[in-house]
């Protein structure tokens, strides 16, 4: 799906991303629960740098051991060059901690392209560099050890697995301090509508608590049935 292309039920990518960025991971996870959609929450990925909340359309990169199927460019570079301001680069590094699946110059390139951020299922490096340019990277760890000779790009723009979750290019993601939630492109319209309703209910409840209502009253029987 190209930049600005059509998404599910006639929504454009820009509309989807704007609506996603008004939500958090919890609202999306609750929406998936209400809809009976499993295996969309990726655990163990935390924000190492930049703003702690990112959302957008997924651009995928799959790494693996050498040799590279296509030599001549550094891992992730093609995905960076193809990214737009609506995109999150998602790197399948199989949870590896022995070498980095993302580094400083990639962060700089992605920031220049306007990408919303990067999610790495594995270690990153150049943490301080990414932090200094305020580029968001979620990862499972950090290491100074280079990928050179240890990991290469096998492909980009295809299906990957991130922390046990099957993800495809063109899917959507929200990542924040609580966790990372993916939504399939074909399900985004329904999930968004339910997540927005849940978020509105939660906001009303929060306002009631701030106004002095007992939390036991606000979070009563109706709260327990909210995902039914």
Residues of the chain scoring pLDDT < 50 = 1-7
pLDDT on residue 225: 77
What is the per-residue pLDDT for 20? 98
Tell me what pLDDT residue 125 has. 98
pLDDT for residue 71: 61
Domain 8-193 coded CATH 3.30.300.30 = no
pTM beyond cutoff 0.85: yes
Residue 69 confidence (pLDDT) = 75
Q: Over the stretch 153-182, which tens digit does the pLDDT of each residue have?
A: 999 999 999 999 999 999 999 999 999 999
Question: In angstroms, rounded to a whole number, what is the distance separating the alpha carbons of residues 133 and 7?
Answer: 31
């Amino acid at each position: 799906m190209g930049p600005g292309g059509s998404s599910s039920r006639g929504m454009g990518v820009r509309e989807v991303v704007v609506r996603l960025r008004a939500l958090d991971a919890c609202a999306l996870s609750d929406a998936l629960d209400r809809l009976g959609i499993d295996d969309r929450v990726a655990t163990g990925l935390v924000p190492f740098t930049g703003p702690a909340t990112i959302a957008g359309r997924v651009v995928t990169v799959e790494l693996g051991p050498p040799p590279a199927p296509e030599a001549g460019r550094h891992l992730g570079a093609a995905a960076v060059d193809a990214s737009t301001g609506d995109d999150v680069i998602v790197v399948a590094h199989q949870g590896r901690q022995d070498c980095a699946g993302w580094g400083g110059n990639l962060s700089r390139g992605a920031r220049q392209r306007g990408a919303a951020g990067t999610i790495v299922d594995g270690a990153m490096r150049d943490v301080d560099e990414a932090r200094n340019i305020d580029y968001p990277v979620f990862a499972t760890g950090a290491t100074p050890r280079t990928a050179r000779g240890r990991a290469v790009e096998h492909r980009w723009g295809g299906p990957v697995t991130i922390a046990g979750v099957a993800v495809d290019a063109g899917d959507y993601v929200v990542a924040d301090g609580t966790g990372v939630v993916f939504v399939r492109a074909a399900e985004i319209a329904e999930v968004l509508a339910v997540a927005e309703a849940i978020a509105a209910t939660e906001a009303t409840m929060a306002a009631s608590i701030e106004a002095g209502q007992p939390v036991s009253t606000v979070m009563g029987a109706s709260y327990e049935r909210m995902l039914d």
